């Protein structure tokens, strides 16, 4: 089985306010091997409270930037669960399969 390839971590989050009309904050997620893995921005035209949207945009970017470390930690942790945690193990395996593109 071929496992999905992704840009290895760690990934770093950079965000900054912008002077672009309608955009309060812009973020880039970068790695040592790639300039930008993902980027985005909060946009006033979406109709939400801009302050809430900016906080959500930054929180989403932090979560994306942590993805490689979260996946690695989850993969390493699976072997330590006793059998009575079967449903939690199934959820963890499903999350790993989703992240790696492997069959659950």
Q: Write out pLDDT tens, residues 37-53.
A: 887 776 665 665 656 66
Contact of 81 with 93, CB cutoff 8 Å: no
- 29 and 61 assigned to the same domain: yes
- 77 and 40 assigned to the same domain: no
Q: What is the DSSP string of 22-53?
A: TEEEEEEEEESS-S-SEEEEEEGGG-S-HHHH
- 54 and 12 assigned to the same domain: yes
- 60 and 72 assigned to the same domain: no
- 58 and 84 assigned to the same domain: no
Average pLDDT, the chain: 79
- 34 and 12 assigned to the same domain: yes
User: Is there a cis peptide before residue 10, judged by omega within 30 degrees of 0?
Assistant: yes
Contact of 72 with 9, CB cutoff 8 Å: yes
- 81 and 43 assigned to the same domain: no
List strands edge to edge, sheet with 38-43. Answer: 11-17, 23-31, 38-43
Task: Tell me which of 24 and 76 has the higher pLDDT.
Answer: 76
pLDDT on residue 45: 59
In a domain? residue 2:
no
- 52 and 81 assigned to the same domain: no
Q: 52-63 pLDDT, tens per residue?
A: 667 777 788 888
On whether the pTM is more than 0.95, the answer is: no
Domain region containing 28:
8-65
| Helices 67-77, 86-100: crossing angle, 10 deg rounding | 140
Number of domains in the chain: 2
pLDDT on residue 2: 44
Q: What is the mean pLDDT of residues 79-100?
A: 87
């Amino acid at each position: 089985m071929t496992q999905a390839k992704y840009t290895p971590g760690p990934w770093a989050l950079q965000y900054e306010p912008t002077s672009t009309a309608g955009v309060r904050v812009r973020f880039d997620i970068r790695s040592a091997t790639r300039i930008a893995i993902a980027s985005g921005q909060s946009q006033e035209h979406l109709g939400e409270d801009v302050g809430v949207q900016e906080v959500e945009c930054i929180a989403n970017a932090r979560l994306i930037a942590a993805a490689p470390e979260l996946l690695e930690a989850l993969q390493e942790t699976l072997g330590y669960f006793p059998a009575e945690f079967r449903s939690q193990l199934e959820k963890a395996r499903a999350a790993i399969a989703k992240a790696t593109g492997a069959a659950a």
